[in-house]
Amino acid sequence: MKTLLKNGSVYLDHEFKKADLLVSEDGITVYASDNAAPAECAADCSFDAAQHVIVPGFADVHVHFREPGFSYKETIRTGSLAGAYGGYTCACPMPNLNPKPSTLEGLKAQLDIIDRDAAIHVIPYGAITRKQDGRSELADMEALAPYVCAFTDDGKGVQTGDRMREAMEKARSLGKLIAAHAEDESLLGGSSIHDGRFARSINWKGITSESEWKQVERDCKLADETGCGYHVCHVSSKESLEVIRDAKKSGVDVTCETGPHYLVLSEEDLFGLDIDDPASGRFKMNPPLRSEEDKKALLEAIIDGTVDMIATDHAPHSAEEKAKGLLHSANGIVGLESAFPVLYSRLVLPGILTMDRLLELMSFAPKRRFNLPGTALETKDAQRQEDGGLLLSGSADITVLDLETPYTLNAAEFKSKGHSCPFDGWNVQGQAVMTFCAGKTAADRGLLTKLK
């Protein structure tokens, strides 16, 4: 199947250019938009993309697709479809599954489902420890390495320096990254938020900034000593950023991600919230929303390059698990279908971020760091075709965006099984209207005018 996208604004060689794209499983061929007759002849169908932009598909290195083991929350099929409809062409699911991907047998159960059901590229993580608990003996990392993007015990921090050193040394020998959910369990304790606008104080198990940055500090030192590539998941605190910034200056091989919710929300958005309202569970996540000062530090860090990429930590739960209010709902929100429109609307349109920087954070950087598939839409290695087109290298992984039409995010209409989203009801721009993965249509909202 060959699909022609006519006269779109294509993010080609890191700038937008008017062009026609012929998309197929063989790749993407670019034609000058005033000389596209050969492409029209070759296409099985064509669409008018004149009012749209075409960018490399996004990649999310931190999602929870819940299968095998917890398919009532999400499946590979529903999670990957959510990604496709959010403009993603690659996603990396975390290992908190049953069976756990700590052995090749456990991983195979997940790989078989991916092969059967995934709508986009799905490259899983392997667990660091055998029980994926941050404490037990190492997983069978050598057997897992050829099939995983990296190793993590996401949801649990590796609790001892000795175990993390052992994991880093093994990962380095295998040419793989360690991706850490940084959380020192000895520093977890009670906390409260009180404000006059609350009906009463909120008290729950405190997930303190120190529990995050202390492990980041430990692990950066270990990464320096072992030479292992180290990636910090869902950074939320200004102190963690300071540690990472200093480590980078010292030459440590460290990268980090943060989530859309930490960039556009803070704990102040909880003030006045009815914590007993079932809907308030859509603000419950780990790490929690932190201060305005932390949010400001994160925004500065994505501008200066300390934060390398944005990942959603898409973490669906059942409606029942998320309907217990702010205190008692399960930790986790969905984000694949809201990430780009929220970030485009709240950061790019006001001039806080450039579109170029947002695409680096959501596409180029995660693919580069985790060695993920997806075309970069660059012509430097393109092959010239007899009909005048340029065949680009890489797989045909692209997203067609409508940046102009305002719409309202409606979580009830998400493809994900999870509908607990803090951005539900937000007015945004930047909807993904069509997504191609490996040249095949992964998502189509039916909003492009069909020409053929």
79 φ/ψ angles, rounded to the nearest 5 degrees: -65, -45
d(CA 128, CA 177): 11
pTM: 0.96
* Overall number of domains in the chain: 2
pLDDT number for residue 275: 86
Please tell me whether residues 51 and 69 are part of one structural domain.
no
d(CA 128, CA 4): 44
329 Ramachandran zone, left/alpha/beta (phi>0; psi -120 to 50):
beta
Please tell me whether residues 285 and 408 are part of one structural domain.
no
Q: In the Cβ-directed half-sphere of 135, how many Cα atoms lie within 13 Å?
A: 4
d(CA 350, CA 345): 7
> Helix, strand, or coil here: 167?
helix
Please tell me whether residues 309 and 444 are part of one structural domain.
no
Please tell me whether residues 47 and 79 are part of one structural domain.
no
pLDDT number for residue 195: 43
Domain stop point among 370, 396, 431: 370
Please tell me whether residues 164 and 47 are part of one structural domain.
no
pLDDT number for residue 67: 98
pLDDT number for residue 36: 60
Please tell me whether residues 293 and 414 are part of one structural domain.
no
The helix/strand count (H/E) of the chain reads as: 13, 22
Domain stop point among 322, 353, 370: 370
Please tell me whether residues 162 and 39 are part of one structural domain.
no
List the catalytic residues.
313
Please tell me whether residues 130 and 26 are part of one structural domain.
no
Q: Which two tokens stand for residue 446?
A: 């039916």
Please tell me whether residues 325 and 438 are part of one structural domain.
no
Please tell me whether residues 380 and 232 are part of one structural domain.
no
Domain span holding position 408? 3-55+374-450
Domain stop point among 370, 389, 411: 370
d(CA 166, CA 153): 14
Q: Which two tokens stand for residue 393?
A: 């290298």
446 Ramachandran zone, left/alpha/beta (phi>0; psi -120 to 50):
left
Would you list the DSSP string of 3-59?
EEEEEEEEEETTEEEEEEEEEETTEEEEEETTS-HHHHHH-SEEEE-TT-EEEEPEE
116 Ramachandran zone, left/alpha/beta (phi>0; psi -120 to 50):
alpha
Please tell me whether residues 244 and 123 are part of one structural domain.
yes
d(CA 225, CA 169): 9
Angle between helices 76-85 and 104-117 (to 10 degrees): 50
Element holding 436 (H helix, E strand): strand 431-437
**CATH number of the domain that 44 lies in?**
2.30.40.10
Please tell me whether residues 41 and 78 are part of one structural domain.
no
| 10-residue stretch averages of pLDDT, the chain, 452 residues long | 95 95 92 72 91 98 98 98 98 98 98 98 98 97 98 94 98 98 79 41 59 95 98 97 98 98 94 89 94 96 98 98 93 98 98 98 98 89 87 90 98 98 98 97 97 85
**CATH number of the domain that 201 lies in?**
3.20.20.140
